[in-house]
Structure 1
């Protein structure tokens, strides 16, 4: 039996209850500030929109750890899960992304991020362009086990992400080397003028 199984057996003998997202996170949408492209001053701080970093600017309005969820435009993936960004440090967020922060030790923000990443939100997307309004977002239901269970789930999933990142980096390096090797031999083998000269032909 794994550690997670043991924790669930010990701490969740009667199962796990659903809670509303709005009850377990701070929603900081009222602090967002959109800045048009022509009015942005280039800098080092990420400027986030609905689907991630849009630009880099000279100032920031948030400093911490946040979940960003697309509000309008790019709001839903092909598998019907929400467009999410895990954002840390000093950042600027425009009005196209909801911004969520941790509210208490009862709900780890990283755990909530993983829950949201598998949540089907197709039933709360409205309009054209598509939009997830704040009220509908607040009502998203997530399972909230005890803190120790959340911590173990986060540990396991982050470990897999780390392994995947390392493997991807290794494979990318290997593929780059093989591509260079292929290009070298392709150029050598298909350079018939050079081959004729090496064979003493003119």
Structure 2
């Protein structure tokens, strides 16, 4: 069945009329919300407080109660800067939020799903800081199936809501399931990593890190000084800041961020990189393997972060890391430990990366069916 056929089957021959949100028989456009006293003086409470960025706080008191659709605006002439929220019960909406709902013949949840696909830009006024005024809001049309037969109309609206809500619920369930699975895997990974790297009951030699590894500082560089290329520039964070046409490290490299908010962050690279605001740890050949050292340092990540000094721009000093005690097991034992931890790392990384991908896929499915179910012919198309 074609997409249009799917919608036609749902409508079962009934007509669709486009009604303006200003039609008081079908819609209630409530007064805008209002801002309470400034944030520092607000009374904390249980009521969600909606503003330009959705729920911003929880306060005492409320401006509305019931089932409503909220159109939150941030004053930018862009569809992406308008968020549609569905609120029930008591809530506080500030003056950046339009509040509306369906009357007895319009399902408010149906109205919510439809408004999620409305392009508000043609209805904005005010130039650079364009706004959606109430006068313009009431000019927005919404499709109502067979309004002359309220019972039939509400049944069709309810079926559309049921289908779309089922996608929302499945996404929420899947997210909760994958998040719980990821949490369990991370706990297992941390448990085995702690156990494998403790060496409490093992007759293993311990050395300071400087005795078994060399430390090399990165080279200062700015983005303007880079040349075109695809070499990651690794500085003081978990991801490269930009790219460069040259490298100053290659092969397996253990990196510790030197300054900034991520000072002390431990990372591992096995590709050419250009190291700047950080230092690298290079284990002596035949003594320690880079990947094993990475896991040792990662296991003590909190302790390394705690080495930060300085109030303005915190930094980690190489001298303190050099004195860190590390075990030196046999190369064979290091290989065994690395192989086990790599498997856990691969599993947790796969789950971590798979979660947002899966959520995005479910969201795309929801949007596809939402657009399909709400693609009623406009009056000019019907003509």
- The more displaced of 111-120 and 68-77 is 68-77
Aligned residue number for residue 169 of structure 1: 176
Aligned counterparts of 2:189 and 2:128: Cα–Cα separation in 1: 47
Q: Pairwise CA RMSD of aligned residues?
A: 2.7
In the superposition, the TM-score normalised over structure 1's length comes to 0.81
Aligned residue number for residue 93 of structure 1: 93
Structure 1 residues 124 and 161: CA distance shift in structure 2, 3 A: same
Structure 1 residues 38 and 201: CA distance shift in structure 2, 3 A: closer
State the shift of 1:101 in Å.
2.3
Aligned counterparts of 2:192 and 2:124: Cα–Cα separation in 1: 52
Residues 37-75 of structure 1: CA distance to partner in whole angstroms, max 9, x if unpaired? 234211121221123122222212211111110244378
Structure 1 residues 33 and 201: CA distance shift in structure 2, 3 A: closer
Structure with bigger gyration radius: 2
Structure 1 residues 135 and 116: CA distance shift in structure 2, 3 A: same
Please say if 1:62 is aligned against 2:61. no
State the shift of 1:88 in Å.
0.9
Gaps of 5+ in 2: 146-152, 206-383
Aligned residue number for residue 16 of structure 1: 16
Aligned residue number for residue 199 of structure 2: 194
Residues 94-120 of structure 1: CA distance to partner in whole angstroms, max 9, x if unpaired? 111001122232x11111110011112
Aligned counterparts of 2:18 and 2:40: Cα–Cα separation in 1: 44
The alignment partner of 1:153 has SS state of: helix
The alignment partner of 1:168 has SS state of: helix
The alignment partner of 1:144 has SS state of: strand
Aligned counterparts of 1:94 and 1:49: Cα–Cα separation in 2: 5
Residues 142-163 of structure 1: CA distance to partner in whole angstroms, max 9, x if unpaired? 2211222111101111122111
Aligned residue number for residue 121 of structure 1: 120
State how many pairs are aligned: 191
- The one of 161, 168, 171 equivalent to 1:154 is 161
Aligned counterparts of 1:188 and 1:131: Cα–Cα separation in 2: 59
State the shift of 1:185 in Å.
3.4
Residues 104-137 of structure 1: CA distance to partner in whole angstroms, max 9, x if unpaired? 32x1111111001111222223434442111222
The alignment partner of 1:136 has SS state of: helix
Aligned counterparts of 1:99 and 1:75: Cα–Cα separation in 2: 20
Whether the 8 Å CA contact 1:66–1:86 is kept in 2: the answer is yes
Whether the 8 Å CA contact 2:21–2:29 is kept in 1: the answer is no
Please say if 1:109 is aligned against 2:116. no
Aligned counterparts of 1:33 and 1:103: Cα–Cα separation in 2: 23
Aligned counterparts of 1:182 and 1:130: Cα–Cα separation in 2: 51
Please say if 1:138 is aligned against 2:111. no
Whether the 8 Å CA contact 2:77–2:121 is kept in 1: the answer is no
The alignment partner of 2:172 has SS state of: helix
Aligned counterparts of 2:109 and 2:186: Cα–Cα separation in 1: 38
Structure 1 residues 74 and 42: CA distance shift in structure 2, 3 A: farther
State the shift of 1:5 in Å.
5.3
Structure 1 residues 59 and 74: CA distance shift in structure 2, 3 A: farther
Aligned counterparts of 2:86 and 2:78: Cα–Cα separation in 1: 16
Structure 1 residues 75 and 154: CA distance shift in structure 2, 3 A: farther
